[in-house]
Structure 1
Amino acid sequence: MRRTQLLAGSALLLIAAPVSAETLKDALLKAYNTNPTLTAERANVRAIDENVPIARADGRPALNLTGGYSEALLQGPGTNSINSPDRRTNADTQLTVPIFTGGAVRNSIRAAETRVDAGRFGLRGAESDLFTAVVGAYMDVIRDEAIVGLNTQNVRVLDVNLQASNDRFQVGDLTRTDVAQSQARLALARAQLQTAQARLISSRENYIRLVGDEPGVLDTPPPVPGTPAGVDQAVEVALQDNPSLLAAQRSRDATAFDINVARASRSPRVGVVLGAGYFNYLGSLGAGSGVDVGSQSGTTGTAGLSLTLPLFQGGRPAAQIRQAQARRSQSIEQVTEAERAVVANTRAAYAVWKSSEQVIASAETAVSANRLSLEGVRAENSVGNRTILDILNAEQELLNSQVTLVTARRDSYVARFALQAAMGRAEADDLGLEGGALYNPVTNYDRVKNRWSDRGRDVDPQPVATRTNESKPQGSEVTRPLDPILDTPVDRDAVNAPSKRP
């Protein structure tokens, strides 16, 4: 009877995954389209793009229109209306065309363009970091579901053990100590199950935070492609292709142009100035003087060159140059910092991957051995050679090895993907995401880089990322079947058999 109940309970863990199970690629695509960290980084890159037309504007013609109206409220003695008319209105237009700026405009443009490159590399790094986090969250849910399933299975086994121990105690085959040991171990197993369930709920909520949707039933992830020949090759590739390192390098390069911009503030500036004006005294010129002053209005036109030669600016240019040099020094150190991080992350991911692969092999062996050991301990208990505590310990050792196997599989996959990310091979283009055109930052740059209009604007910003406030609270139900090596039902009939003590 109890065996039938136990096997039926174990069968509840083997829920067949529906055809509509969500794949890892589905999760990555959802995150790619709706994650706020990534959509915000795209907006940041678009803002960086605008620095190029802003820099170019300093080298383009500037046209200004000024106008005014004045009326004399008080005229002193001897004031002549010919020299000081009572009313005046004027409008003046001036066109200034920069000819020479000491290299300030040219270097500002090159600095802005270099930072555009850095922004694009930063966006690639944000994609890579997000995908690594999504893979981790995806595998966390799979791992924690399996651990909940294993702990549920363990609770059911220990519950049957306790019932059997009580029955054997009633017939005098076991002592009160045996029953207490079974009770204690069952209580501990239930506590471990509750902890595992809480961890599963936390993993599912984290999945929603990153992906924007509930995990549902997750499919087994595909193998991670690409295998470096060794850790040295992985580091070599990472130093060439890691997007975060490339972003830091381009930001460093931009600071060299910033220094030239600061130096240009000490250089002369030359420009062509064209002006046109209109004035009108509104009949007040010569009023009351009896003198015919002719026309009360007129137009003017001017053309010339403007020269600005800085002689003394209170130390501002020197301070700006020193500041730009310090910023460059900072960016140089930041490149070294980024390089260190890339080397460390690559080596660490490689080590975790290789170690996890070895742990998987050892854990698989341990699970098989512990399963046989448990069967042997139960058989030996039936003839009086093993105690109830031996059975409980064997059950726990089997559970521990199974959890170790599940955890190692998760760690291996995540480390393998993190290694690819460190090598610059875990971006949207590398993953073959399907679901429409991928975001291309060059499109916006080409759209704005040569714009001249002062009246251009984009539509008002609207939310792109999806909110998760209406997602339902996650539970700890198991939706995936246990791997056959993890689902290890054992014949429990021996539990009820009286020991054959001499």
Structure 2
Amino acid sequence: MMGIRSSIRPLLAAAGLFLLTFPSASGALTLPEAVDAALATHPSIAARQALQAEAWAAVGEARADWFPSLRVSGSLTQYEEPMAVFPIHGFNPQSLPPFDETLAQGGVSLSYTLFDGAGRIGRVRQARARAGAADKEALATEQSLIAWVTNAYLAVLNAQETLAAHDHHLAALERERARVQQLLAVGRAAEIQVLQAEAALAGARAERVRIAGTLDRAEQEMARLTGRALATVRAAPFAAFTLPGEPGGSLARDDLLAAALAENAGLQAARQIRQAADAGVLAACSARWPKLIAAGSYLGWADGDGHDTWEWNAGLQLAWPLFAGGAIRHSIERARAARQGAGAALALAELRVGEQIDRALTAIDETRARVTSLEAAVAAQAEVARIQQLLLEAGSGTESDYLDAEADLLTGRAALADARHGELAACVELARVTGRLDQKWIRESLQ
């Protein structure tokens, strides 16, 4: 498994994605800090922990059947007519027990199940498998929450970068409008040029409202996930991502699939549920067998006049259900159907893991290619916008060409930011599917 882990890390290195972390004194909200806050406060974690505790308590409850049962009992009864204070063990008139209307009875009973057709074995196995499934489901919940926080964090970064690019575009449009107004004032520009600049500026301002709304929603989601105040999230600077190098290296799909089949938390939970269903069949079939119990008691009787006696008894108890109206048969059928369903669910989970691996790898390849292409496109668009501005200032260009160039540059920058963040999100998803995503992975891989 270390080989798989080491193969995932070069993916991020090859992609050139790393998180710039800031000192705590700067007030920045880094991704590891956001993950820690979410794991500490999100209710989904507490809910899963409660289910874990419940499942392991059920294991102790099932194991208790392997121990003897020791009980103390007592009663105080008032009768209408006098009753024998203690049992009569013969028909000798000289040894009749005293009679009284108020009788007290107490005793200690000890019993132990010697044989129950492997029912206890099945119930304990079933409880342990369910507890194991609860553990794996809790781990899957943690990993899903980490991925959720990462995607929300990237959404904030993406909106911030898009907004910054749009503000740059707005500034360029405002400069262009001011230039055209100056030319109009000296008679070197037509009124329509001013109208074109103002229309482009108004449209850009409207688009900025939409982008700011996207950023606001992303920050709200981060606040909900981390349990922090929205004002705190908005005030804290977020880390930025860079691409220092070209992609390199490759990942073997079969190796990743093997790692996911062995380590994926959801898949492991499905296997545990299948084992619990197998044990459930064993427990249900045990009802067809007789139950043999060894039991003993030490009993005492007394009345209010001071008469009392104590006796012991011991023996074996055999119970064999010969007819139960079909309840046992239907119970076994239900357990077998549950086992069949658990097996089908496991097969479906394995198929989904393979699908998730393929999607993550496809997303990585796609975003890598997009980043490479968009970097070249943005560089070219920036140069085109610069040249169009120079041509416009020299009087040989058109205002529409310059505005189109600025719009293309804005679109390219937004797409590049989205592609870079999409590559990182795909890497995180791949780590989740292969079972490696945790707080340590975040700190070691995203630096």
Amino acid corresponding to residue 282 of structure 1 in structure 2: G
Whether the 8 Å CA contact 1:24–1:221 is kept in 2: the answer is no
Q: Is 1:181 aligned with 2:215? A: no
Structure with more of its chain in helix, by fraction: 2
Give me the whole-angstrom Cα distance separating, in 2, the residues matched to 1:222 and 1:385.
38
Q: State yes or no: 1:88 paired with 2:88.
A: no
Question: Which string of whole-angstrom CA distances, capped at 9 and with x for unpartnered residues, describes residues 238-295 of structure 1?
Answer: 1222111111111111110100100111211111111011111334xxxxxxxxxxx8
TM superposition shift of 1:37: 1.4
Gaps of 5+ in 2: 1-21, 84-92
Alignment partner of 1:100 is 2:138: no
Shift of 1:96: 1.0
Further displaced range: 395-404 or 85-94: 85-94
**1:91-138 Cα deviation digits (max 9, x unpaired):** 122111111111011111111112222222212211211111111111
The residue that corresponds to 1:466 in the other structure is none
1:144 CA drift (Å): 0.9
Where do residues 333-482 of structure 1 align in structure 2 (5 Å cutoff)? 333-428=344-439, 430-431=441-442
User: Does 1:210 pair with 2:232?
Assistant: no
Q: Structure 1 residues 274 and 222, CA, compared in 2 at 3 Å: closer, same or farther? A: farther
Among residues 218, 234, 246, which one is paired with 2:256 in the alignment?
Answer: 234
Counterpart position of 2:35: 28
**Deviation of the 1:384 alpha carbon:** 3.5
Aligned to 1:66: 73
CA distance in 2, matches of 1:235, 1:82: 80
> Whole-Å Cα distance in 2 between the matches of residues 218 and 230 of structure 1?
34
2:254 and 2:292 map into 1 onto residues whose CA distance is 55
In terms of mean alpha carbon deviation, does 157-166 or 187-196 score higher?
A: 157-166
CA distance in 1 between counterparts of 2:56 and 2:97 reads: 56
CA distance in 2, matches of 1:318, 1:71: 45
Deviates more, 1:118-127 or 1:394-403: 118-127
Please state if 1:280 is matched with 2:312: no
Q: Does 1:41 align with 2:56?
A: no
- Residues 81, 101 of structure 2: 8 Å contact kept: no
Decide whether aligned partners of structure 1 residues 188 and 156 sit closer, same or farther in structure 2, where only a CA change above 3 A counts: same
- How far the C-alpha of 1:227 sits from its partner, in A, is 7.1
Q: 1:336-380, CA deviations, whole angstroms, 9 ceiling, x for partnerless residues? A: 221122111111111111111111111111111011101111222
2:183 to 168, 174, 185: 168
Summarize the Cα distance change of 1:363–1:221 in structure 2 as closer, same or farther, 3 Å threshold.
Answer: closer
Kept after mapping to 1: 8 A contact 2:82/2:100: no
Superposition deviation, residue 73 in structure 1: 2.3
Q: State TM-score, norm by structure 2.
A: 0.84
**1:306 and 2:321 aligned:** no
Alpha-carbon distance between aligned partners in 2 of 1:411 and 1:333, rounded to the nearest angstrom: 33
Contact 2:32 2:439 in 1 (8 A): no
**Partner-residue secondary structure (3-state), 1:300:** strand
Give CA-to-partner distance per residue, 1:46-76, whole Å, 9 cap, x none: 2111111110112221122222222232589
Listed one character per residue, the Cα deviations across residues 291-327 of structure 1 (whole Å, up to 9, x for unaligned) are xxxx832111111111111111111111111111111
CA 1:431–1:165 in structure 2 vs 1: closer, same or farther (change >3 Å)?
closer
Residue identity over aligned pairs, in percent, reads: 24
User: Which of 122, 131, 139 is equivalent to 2:154?
Assistant: 139
- Once residues 333 and 228 of structure 1 are traced to their aligned partners in structure 2, the CA distance between those partners, rounded to angstroms, is 33
Q: Distance in 2 between matches of 1:119 and 1:420?
A: 21
**What are the Cα deviations for residues 445-497 of structure 1, in whole angstroms up to 9, with x where unaligned?**
xxxxxxxxxxxxxxxxxxxxxxxxxxxxxxxxxxxxxxxxxxxxxxxxxxxxx
| 8 Å CA contact retained: 2:291, 2:319 | yes
| CA spacing shift, 1:180–1:232, aligned 2, 3 Å | farther
- AA of the residue aligned to 1:217: P
Mapped to 2, the partners of 1:424 and 1:281 lie a distance apart of 69
